[in-house]
Structure 1
Amino acid sequence: MTKTLIKCGWLVTMDPQLGDMKDAELLFEDGDITAIGQNLNATPDATIDGSEMIVMPGLVNAHIHSWQSQLRAMGSEWMTAQYMKNIHSGLALHYQAEDNYIGNLVEDLAQIDGGATTVMDWSHNIRDLEMAEQSIDGHEESGIRCVYGHGTVKPPTKPGDKPFSEIPHPRDRIEALRKGRLSSDDHRVTLAMAILGPDYSSWEIVTRDIAMAREFGLITSSHSAKPENSLNPGGYARLAREGLIGPDHNVVHGVYFTDDDVKAVIDCGASITSTCLTEIHHHWPGPAVNRVRKFGGMPSLGIDVVPVVASSMFREMQAALLYLRAQELRDAARDNGAQPDEMPVKSREALEWATIGGARALRMEDRIGSLKPGKKADIVMLRTTDSNIWPVHNPVFSIVEQAGDGNVDTVIIDGITRKKDGKSTYPEDLRRRKLADLSASSDRIMKSAGY
């Protein structure tokens, strides 16, 4: 057992009992945190000097389509219909298994670089088991903690074929993965099902998919849609009423949900993940974060689609916070004719959404999302000596309102250092080759699609 001691400048644990500490120490053995406190008198095998850093939990990106990293920033001015046409009815159909591998690997490295230690990869361009296998290869190689959400491709319907909304999730693939390399929920890469859900599939299909997921002990996640585009309007509330979803289900977006929809999902124990950058970009109702919190739920955050928005959880967290603050201030001025005396949305809340909120959405809150003995050593360290951070008066304010990806000095995942001294520990010459492979993959996909 290798013992590593971190000497912290500031330690932000996100644990309600431990709180924030100045000049604390954190000890971990291999992949698990064993002690936190002042002057631990430990005899470590290695010591990390974090005396000029903020030590915090790794960020949890609860929703991203990692396979799209080949298409980064190409759709920054797309609207939703253009995204669906260009990606799902176009480019996605031209991916091969090796494209998913390289896309996932490079996106994971970007996530680690920006302080995300866990991602929920919503992998919804999968046509066969080999594509799923190579997708997982990329995650395993990168070193990130990943919930791999196996999804399915959504091609335009050809004459005589069933639409994708009437095709059940492929049991053979789920069974192969669950009985094979992703049989354990304790490994760094685990399995989930990214299903169509009630808005994008028939009622028979959604209930069948959920039953299969529960048979294999898997969480499910599904996108919501505009009511006019839903195949089962009010479907999430119905699933909740019938006991078909609970803490094992995650809804993505929910921007068009009624208050009754939000309440039904929260009350049954399911989670709602917001991707605020894309939701502000594409959808006039805006993120559901405020309604989730008002109905007693814990919001979680994700990046969603890097063809449209930045691959940064710091930016996502800041966007969520600022959107909610603006929303609250506007509502107060409209309803009361004056602004509130106190800030209505606290900075610590936003950090919760990006850490423990994501962990809860993925049913991993017993392992990640905060720093305390018994949890995994998924740790991020921010340099406080960077000009945009110094001086630190309140470490949470510095993390949420001031920090960015460039301030991330060190990233530790499962006790293994994945970024050190501001640089990835993934070999630089190999990283460069992988970037070239990503460019070649992008060129091939776009040429094949005639884009």
Structure 2
Amino acid sequence: MKRTLIRNGRVVTVDPALGDIDDCDILIVGDRIAEVRPAIDADADEVIDARDKIVIPGLVNAHLHTWQTGLRSIGSGWTGPDYHRIVHGNMGTRFLPDDNHVGTLLGALEQLSGGVTTIFDWCHDITSIDYAHRSIDALDEAGIRAVFGHGSAKPNAAPGELPFTHIPHPRERVEALRNGRLSSDDGLVTLAVAILGPQFSIPEVVEHDFRMVRDLGLPSSSHAARRPKDWVSPEGFHIPARLGLLDARHNVVHANYIGDEELKLIVDCGASVTVTANIEVHVHPMDPVSGRLLALGAMPSLGIDSVPLANSDFFNEMRLAMLYQRALDQRVAWRNGAPPPDRLPVPPRQVLEWATIGGARALCMEDRIGSLTPGKKADVVLIDGLALNMFPVHEPTFSTVQQANAANVDTVLVDGIVRKRGGKLVYADALLAQRRDELLRSVSRIIAESGYRSSAIGS
């Protein structure tokens, strides 16, 4: 097995037993972290110089619609209903399997380049198994760690057709993947199911989908971002909880409009909640639920969500989640007549935990990723501490969360394999140029076919 030695970094392990260690080495044997300590004396096939670098665990983006990468920022002026009408009701219906492939590939490469080593790829434009296979092909090609969330399309129903809210998740496609290329839970790409959930489906579909994932032994995730008057199943997550089907293998995304009692039910059942602050601040009047989760003793995870509307730099997502919750906590305290706080809420270390350990828990991978702990997978990120926006680095966690951006990521390892080195992706330049051309042709065709005019909306 290959032995890689990372030398003399400022290591932020995100492991409370190890803490932060200056001038620290990391020995990687094969795909695992073997040792984390200063002055490791070991033979190595490759030595990576981490002087003047901050070394952190790979970031975990727990919610990303990677297939939408080619529509980057097109929806910066959209409302939530605009997004559903234009993307799911129009543009998304025009994607072909190869469109999924190139969008997912460029999106996964972008996340890798930005220090994200694991994504939950929530793929919800699938109308045939070919869409899933081409998306998985892209994840394999990128070399990122990914949970592929098999979703279902949400087109507008034609007259006489059942709406998507009444259609159970297609079990046969999930079984084909589970019995085929994604049969293992130990691979770099693993399988989950992106189900509709109670806010987007009738009770019978809620029960079918939750029973299906339990039968197949798969993790699942569902959106929960509708205003209560629009919930298709007003009982919400009480339905799977009552049936004994809500547990730690389910991930709820957003949860802004969910009341305190139901949110406590979700947490008490062991389910995780992913906050996508950029999207939630963009299109929702209800606050991200980070603080409410903390009050319940739960740790949020973070996600980018939808690139047509959101900034896709995960460092930006960390900062926004931290700053919004800080502002919210201080406003509430002020209105309640409380004195100024002795210390700011949501310190940088806490939000870094959301972006690593929190994401690992949401993906049921805490035993494998999320911290630089010996025995875990070697998903490691080196950040350039000499960059002008980083230097000088006084406290590495503060600098990582408050100053860093994707351009500061110098080196990325996934499963012990270097995927970015010296600020450059390990991916052929000519092939990347070809993929860019493919993506541009793909989205140009989709936008033209949709008849979309940006001047008519939000500009």
Calculate the TM-score normalised by the size of structure 2. Answer: 0.97
1:413 aligns with 2:414: yes
Deviation at 1:238, TM superposition (A): 3.7
- What are the superposed Cα offsets for residues 377-405 of structure 1, whole Å, 9 maximum, x if unpaired? 10000011111111111110010001111
Q: Secondary structure at the match of 1:446?
A: helix
- What are the superposed Cα offsets for residues 168-190 of structure 1, whole Å, 9 maximum, x if unpaired? 11111111100000000100000
Amino acid at match of 2:57: P
Amino acid at match of 2:423: G
**Count of residue pairs the alignment pairs up:** 451
* Contact 1:8 1:54 survives alignment (8 Å): no
State the match for 2:23 in structure 1.
23
State the match for 1:37 in structure 2.
37
Amino acid at match of 2:228: P
Unaligned segments of structure 2, at least 5 residues: 453-459
Distance 1:277 1:286 in 2: 11
Distance 1:72 1:175 in 2: 32
Q: Secondary structure at the match of 1:390?
A: coil
Unaligned segments of structure 1, at least 5 residues: none
Deviation at 1:337, TM superposition (A): 4.3
Please provide the CA RMSD for this pair. Answer: 0.9
State the match for 1:106 in structure 2.
106
Distance 1:337 1:132 in 2: 52
Distance 1:107 1:430 in 2: 15
Distance 1:109 1:61 in 2: 13
Deviation at 1:218, TM superposition (A): 0.5
Q: Secondary structure at the match of 2:52?
A: strand
* Contact 1:8 1:55 survives alignment (8 Å): no
| Superposed counterparts of 1:145-156, under 5 Å | 145-156=145-156
Distance 1:155 1:388 in 2: 44
Cα 1:337–1:373, aligned 2, differ >3 Å: closer, same or farther? closer
* Contact 1:379 1:411 survives alignment (8 Å): yes
Distance 1:8 1:96 in 2: 47
Distance 2:330 2:208 in 1: 44
State the match for 2:396 in structure 1.
395
Distance 1:101 1:395 in 2: 37
Distance 1:417 1:130 in 2: 30
Distance 2:449 2:60 in 1: 34
Distance 1:431 1:91 in 2: 25
1:320 aligns with 2:321: yes
* Contact 1:198 1:236 survives alignment (8 Å): yes
1:194 aligns with 2:194: yes
Q: Secondary structure at the match of 1:11?
A: strand
State the match for 1:206 in structure 2.
206
| Superposed counterparts of 1:151-166, under 5 Å | 151-166=151-166
State the match for 1:85 in structure 2.
85
- What are the superposed Cα offsets for residues 194-253 of structure 1, whole Å, 9 maximum, x if unpaired? 000111111111111111111111001000121111011231134224321110100000
State the match for 1:370 in structure 2.
371
State the match for 1:307 in structure 2.
308
Distance 1:100 1:142 in 2: 14
Deviation at 1:115, TM superposition (A): 0.6
Distance 1:115 1:40 in 2: 25
State the match for 1:383 in structure 2.
384
Distance 2:410 2:140 in 1: 22
Distance 1:273 1:234 in 2: 21
Distance 1:241 1:167 in 2: 22
Q: Secondary structure at the match of 1:349?
A: helix
State the match for 1:138 in structure 2.
138
Amino acid at match of 2:167: I
Calculate the TM-score normalised by the size of structure 1. Answer: 0.99
Q: Secondary structure at the match of 2:146?
A: strand
Amino acid at match of 2:418: T
State the match for 1:97 in structure 2.
97
Amino acid at match of 1:108: A
Distance 2:203 2:348 in 1: 40
Distance 2:276 2:133 in 1: 27
Deviation at 1:338, TM superposition (A): 2.7
| Superposed counterparts of 1:429-440, under 5 Å | 429-440=430-441
Distance 2:307 2:337 in 1: 39
Distance 1:392 1:445 in 2: 45
* Contact 2:58 2:118 survives alignment (8 Å): yes
Distance 2:146 2:311 in 1: 19
Q: Secondary structure at the match of 1:137?
A: helix
Q: Secondary structure at the match of 1:70?
A: helix
State the match for 1:262 in structure 2.
263
Deviation at 1:275, TM superposition (A): 0.4
Amino acid at match of 1:321: M
Distance 2:90 2:289 in 1: 29
Deviation at 1:52, TM superposition (A): 1.2
Q: Secondary structure at the match of 2:346?
A: coil
Aligned-pair identity in percent equals 48
Q: Secondary structure at the match of 2:60?
A: strand
Amino acid at match of 1:228: K
State the match for 1:182 in structure 2.
182
* Contact 1:303 1:311 survives alignment (8 Å): yes
Of 440-449 and 105-114, more deviation after overlay is shown by 440-449
State the match for 2:11 in structure 1.
11
State the match for 1:47 in structure 2.
47
Amino acid at match of 1:347: P
| Superposed counterparts of 1:279-358, under 5 Å | 279-358=280-359
Q: Secondary structure at the match of 2:182?
A: coil
Q: Secondary structure at the match of 2:118?
A: strand
* Contact 1:298 1:353 survives alignment (8 Å): yes
